[in-house]
């Protein structure tokens, strides 16, 4: 009973989330000021890489080693995630070993980092999730993995503080590899953590761009795969979470469950409904079925089933077919947008999500009303990560130009001829670039539904 | 006889080979036991009844027969389905849970609810990991090392008889 | 070999199995893969997740390790074909100690030169302590076939290592 109440309470909180930023205000995009160290192209050009190369990869399951690493950070000895993130967010000139020690954060390339490094070189990553349990899916170590990845990024950052830039570049391979592993065959939350880890690791390129003697990472960034974090697996897992959990509902028409089997299945359920879906009140499953019975029968007959067959069908099965038809229709209607390239689909997917609840006008939309994940944020973040890579490539192109032109900023991005200057992948157009005095501003316009805090705006100067 | 000779040689070779000790496995025993404990706890947590987990389940019916069918009077009956309830540990929040670390204290939360929270609030909505919790202070020597008989005599103080070196094999 | 009691898998049992078998299991796995510790760790974790202790936990572990190691070897084989190079064993198979009556490197070289089906039987028997019946169970052959492979492999080893009838002592196994 306690669990049923908990579930019902949580259900009330569930609603298809409109894009968080929609009305979050068009606040100012945060500005990042960088004093760039000029640096020419490395020789050989691909001397530095931000992910392990194919010849460095080993067969095996990386998740085994990541889980092993989790066992190494038990006992509260290794800081907490919030403090670790603060150490990553503070300006690098304020980051000191004293602060790192105060946060009990590990640092240095010790056994823990080396284990993560080895994991990053594994070809596969099977998190072995128990997807068949549906909502009871336990993610026991995702928060630990997030913490481990944060530790890895911090370890690389400390090398930058100590002036070991080449070492730091090589160490960044580990959290970036871990970020990609997190999105492999996993649930949505894993992918979201992977994207955050990738962002935290890429932010270190900003640190490196300002560090004396730091190599130019233009080609290292260019060699990164696109998309950097492919959310296809996590999104498809979410689309089929329901099917994986209740196999009889995957194809209820073919199910061999008899009337008693269906009855037993639904008698376990807590109340359904409430919120913004087609059923405004909470009802027990039996009453929900009563509520939709006539529609279910008509739906099956309209689909071409013989009316006599429909009459003879167990009632619960009939309603299950009706509900699952609604589920598949609505889910595919929302998930299809995920596959559209961002520049083409941004407007449409945002609108589709914003108007989602208005489209729920049929009784068999009850499940999507409760369980549809808000996809726009994921879609936008995935594209945003690739935009971050492109913007950093622009910055490295500026460093390269400055190294060859006596420390001068290019007057425009088109003045840079030594390397191709990337376009903004979210718009398909150039980044905005403007020089005023000795400061250049590099920015990208916010998408109509994008949150200001996710935007980018750099103010670049050249260190003399 | 040749067989006897072969057998003697065989035994000799077996003894010679046996004198070689396999290199240590390289596995952290404590880490392995910790993970074994975790997966054991997960296995117990997986034994949820369909109903407890079936929050999202189709709105499948009980009692719809009374509407459309010329049925006899519907008798509502409660069917008790024997279901093995999980020994679900209490949820220990990071705020309250300091000092209660350990794999058996893993928080239990509906995945869909967690997903919605994370999508709405960001990854900071994830609970602080167990690994950030300090273990409780041991109350006795037994707590420090369960299963060890006290007073403890370390093997590093037992000299290897044949080599005179301290300690035994690793 | 006595059978371990069946029933719940307790930490004490698991720990005892680990202490007794982990190194030998890693050696067994090394025949196929370069990261035997992963394979062995996974086998122990799989054992820990069983509802009850198997009737012959040692056999169970060796079988699990063998299956996983062979599978890992196939994946590694695909990678090595890309590199067109044969990877050598990265870590030593044995530790050389004062008690060793053989040079460990020579032993490894001789073992690696054996056909796989002979080598695995020898490793499982000598360092794993399995009977021929259990070796057969692990490797998927009859106990008499296991015995035949064992003798053939040991004969080859004796020639390669130049083992003569060195001692007058016999040790009952």
A239/B contact by beta carbon, under 8 A = no
In the structure, what pLDDT confidence band is assigned to residue B169 with cuts at 50, 70 and 90?
very low
Q: Do C32 and C72 meet the contact criterion of CB atoms below 8 Å apart?
A: yes
Question: Minimal Cα–Cα distance from B168 to chain C, Å?
Answer: 11
Cβ distance C38 to A58 less than 8 Å, yes or no, reads: no
For A293, name the nearest residue in chain B, comparing CA atoms only.
B64
- In whole angstroms, give the CA distance from residue A291 to residue A379: 36
Confirm if A368 and A326 have CB atoms less than 8 A apart: yes
For residue A243, the chain B residue with the least C-alpha distance is B57
Residues of chain A with pLDDT > 90, as a percent, come to 39
Q: Which of A48-57, A79-88, C100-109 has the highest mean pLDDT?
A: A48-57
- Is residue A353 pLDDT above 70, yes or no? yes
Distance from CA of A179 to the nearest CA of C (A): 21
Interface subset of A 334-363, CB within 8 angstroms of B: none
- Inter-chain contact C107–B14, Cβ cutoff 8 Å? no
Residue A62, chain C, CB below 8 Å: the answer is no
For residue A6, the model assigns a pLDDT of 47
Q: In sequence order, what are the beta bridge partners of A122?
A: A58
Residues of chain A with Cβ-Cβ distance to C35 below 8 Å are: 58, 60
In the structure, what pLDDT confidence band is assigned to residue B120 with cuts at 50, 70 and 90?
confident
- pLDDT tens, C13-49? 788 788 888 999 999 999 988 888 889 999 998 988 8
Mean pLDDT of A413-427: 95
CB nearest B12 (choices: C37, C127, C167):
C167
Q: Is the pLDDT of residue A419 over 90?
A: yes
CA distance A69 to chain C (A): 13
What are A244-282's pLDDT values in tens digits? 777 778 888 887 777 777 777 666 555 566 666 676 677
Is the C-alpha dihedral spanning C51, C52, C55, C60 positive or negative?
A: positive
- Nearest chain B CA: its distance from C27 CA (Å): 6
Res. A208: pLDDT tops 90: yes
pLDDT of A456 reads 94
Interface test mutation site (partner A, options B39, B47, B57, max chain A beta carbons within 10 A): B57
Contact in structure between A382 and A229 (CB atoms under 8 Å):
yes
pTM: 0.60
Question: Rounded to an integer, what distance in angstroms lies between the CA atom of residue A273 and that of residue A253?
Answer: 24
Give all chains having 3 or more CB-to-CB distances under 8 Å with chain C: A, B
> Best interface-test mutation with C: which of B10, B23, B29, B160 has the largest number of C CBs within 10 A?
B23
d(CA A341, CA A408): 36
The more confident residue out of B65 and A207 is: A207
Q: Which residue of A has its CA nearest to B31?
A: A71
The span from the CA of C15 to the CA of A434, in Å, is 66
CB-CB under 8 Å, B8 with C95: no
pLDDT (mean) for A143-165: 89
What mean pLDDT comes out for the span A19-31? 58
The string of pLDDT tens digits covering residues C97-156 is: 665 778 888 899 899 999 999 999 999 988 988 888 889 999 999 988 999 999 999 999
Q: Which of C38, C83, C90 to mutate to test the interface with A (most CBs of A within 10 A)?
A: C38
Residues A85, A150: Cα–Cα separation, whole Å: 7
User: Which chain B residues touch A77 with a CB distance below 8 Å?
Assistant: 134
Tokens 């392990």 sit on residue: A52
C75: nearest CB among A55, A59, A68: A59
pLDDT at res. B72:
54
The mean-pLDDT minimum among A362-371, A422-431, B137-146 falls in B137-146
- What pLDDT, on a 0 to 100 scale, did the predictor assign at position B1? 37
Residues in chain B within 8 Å Cβ distance of C41 = 27, 32, 35
B18 touches chain C (CB under 8 A): yes
d(CA B41, CA A349): 40
Residues 6+ positions from A436 with CB-CB distance below 8 Å = none
In the numeric block, the tokens 């089929």 are attached to A240
pLDDT of amino acid A267: 64
Average pLDDT value for chain B: 59
């Amino acid at each position: 009973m306690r669990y049923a109440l908990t579930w019902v309470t949580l259900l009330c909180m569930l609603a298809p989330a409109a894009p968080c930023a929609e009305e979050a205000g068009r606040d100012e995009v945060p500005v990042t000021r960088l004093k760039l160290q000029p640096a020419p192209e490395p020789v050989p050009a691909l001397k530095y890489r931000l992910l392990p190369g194919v010849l460095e990869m080993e067969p095996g399951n990386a998740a085994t080693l990541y889980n092993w690493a989790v066992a190494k950070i038990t006992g509260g000895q290794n800081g907490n995630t919030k403090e670790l993130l603060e150490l990553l967010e503070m300006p690098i000139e304020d980051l000191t070993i004293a602060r790192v020690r105060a946060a009990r954060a590990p640092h240095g390339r010790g056994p823990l980092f080396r284990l993560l490094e080895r994991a990053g070189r594994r070809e596969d990553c099977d998190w072995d999730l128990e997807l068949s349990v549906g909502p009871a899916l336990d993610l026991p170590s995702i928060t630990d993995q997030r913490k481990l990845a944060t530790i890895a990024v911090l370890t690389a950052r400390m090398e930058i503080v100590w002036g070991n830039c080449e070492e730091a570049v090589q160490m960044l391979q580990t959290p970036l590899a871990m970020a990609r592993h997190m999105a492999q065959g996993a649930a949505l939350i894993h992918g979201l953590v992977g994207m955050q880890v990738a962002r935290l690791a890429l932010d270190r390129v900003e640190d490196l761009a300002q560090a004396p003697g730091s190599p130019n990472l233009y080609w290292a960034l260019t060699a990164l795969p696109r998309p950097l974090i492919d959310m296809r697996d996590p999104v498809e897992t979410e689309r089929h979470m329901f099917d994986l959990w209740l196999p009889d509902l995957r194809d209820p028409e073919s199910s061999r469950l008899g009337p008693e089997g269906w009855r037993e299945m639904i008698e376990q359920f807590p109340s359904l409904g409430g919120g913004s879906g087609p059923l405004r009140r909470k009802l027990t499953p039996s009453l929900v079925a009563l509520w939709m019975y006539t529609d279910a029968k008509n739906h099956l007959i309209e689909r071409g089933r013989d009316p006599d067959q429909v009459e003879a069908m167990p009632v619960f099965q009939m309603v299950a077919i009706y509900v699952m038809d609604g589920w598949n229709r609505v889910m595919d209607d929302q998930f299809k947008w995920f596959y559209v390239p961002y520049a083409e689909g941004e407007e449409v997917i945002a609108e589709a999500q914003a108007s989602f609840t208005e489209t729920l006008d049929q009784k068999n939309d009850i499940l999507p009303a409760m369980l549809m994940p808000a996809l726009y944020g994921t879609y936008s973040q995935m594209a945003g990560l690739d935009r971050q890579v492109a913007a950093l490539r622009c910055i490295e192109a500026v460093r390269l130009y400055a190294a060859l032109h006596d420390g001068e900023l290019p007057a425009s991005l088109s003045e840079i001829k030594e390397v191709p200057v990337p376009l903004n992948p979210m718009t398909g157009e150039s980044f905005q670039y403007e020089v005023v005095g000795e400061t250049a501003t590099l920015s990208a316009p916010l998408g109509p539904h994008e949150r200001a805090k996710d935007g980018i705006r750099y103010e670049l100067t050249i260190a003399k | 006889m040749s067989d006897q000779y072969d057998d003697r040689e065989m035994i000799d070779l077996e003894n010679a080979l046996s004198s070689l000790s396999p290199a240590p496995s390289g596995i952290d025993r404590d880490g392995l036991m910790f993970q074994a404990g975790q997966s054991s706890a997960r296995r117990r947590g997986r034994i949820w009844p369909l109903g407890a987990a079936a929050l999202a389940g189709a709105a499948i019916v009980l009692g719809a027969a009374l509407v459309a069918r010329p049925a006899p009077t519907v008798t509502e009956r409660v069917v008790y389905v024997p279901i093995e309830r999980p020994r679900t540990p209490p949820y220990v929040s990071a705020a309250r849970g300091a000092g209660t670390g350990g794999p058996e204290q893993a928080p239990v939360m509906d995945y869909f609810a967690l997903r919605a929270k994370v999508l709405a609030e960001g990854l900071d909505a994830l609970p602080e990991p167990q690994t950030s919790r300090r273990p409780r202070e041991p109350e006795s020597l037994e707590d420090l090392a369960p299963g060890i008989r006290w007073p403890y005599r370390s093997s590093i103080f037992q000299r290897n008889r044949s080599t005179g070196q301290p300690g035994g094999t690793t | 070999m006595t059978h371990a009691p069946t029933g719940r898998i307790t930490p004490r049992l698991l720990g005892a199995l680990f202490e007794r078998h982990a190194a030998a299991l890693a050696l067994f796995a090394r025949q196929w893969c370069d990261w035997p510790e992963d394979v062995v760790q996974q086998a122990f974790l799989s054992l820990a997740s069983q509802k009850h202790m198997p009737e012959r936990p040692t056999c169970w572990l060796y079988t699990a390790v063998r299956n996983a190691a062979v599978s890992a070897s196939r994946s590694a084989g695909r990678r090595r074909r890309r590199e067109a190079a044969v990877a050598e064993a990265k870590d030593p198979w044995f530790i050389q100690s004062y008690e060793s009556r053989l040079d460990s490197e020579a032993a490894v070289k001789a073992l690696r030169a054996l056909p796989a089906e002979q080598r695995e039987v020898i490793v499982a028997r000598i360092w794993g302590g399995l009977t021929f019946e259990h070796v057969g169970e692990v490797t998927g052959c009859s106990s008499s076939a296991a015995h035949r492979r064992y003798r053939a492999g040991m004969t080859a080893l004796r020639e390669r290592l130049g083992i003569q009838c060195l001692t007058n002592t016999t040790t009952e196994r």
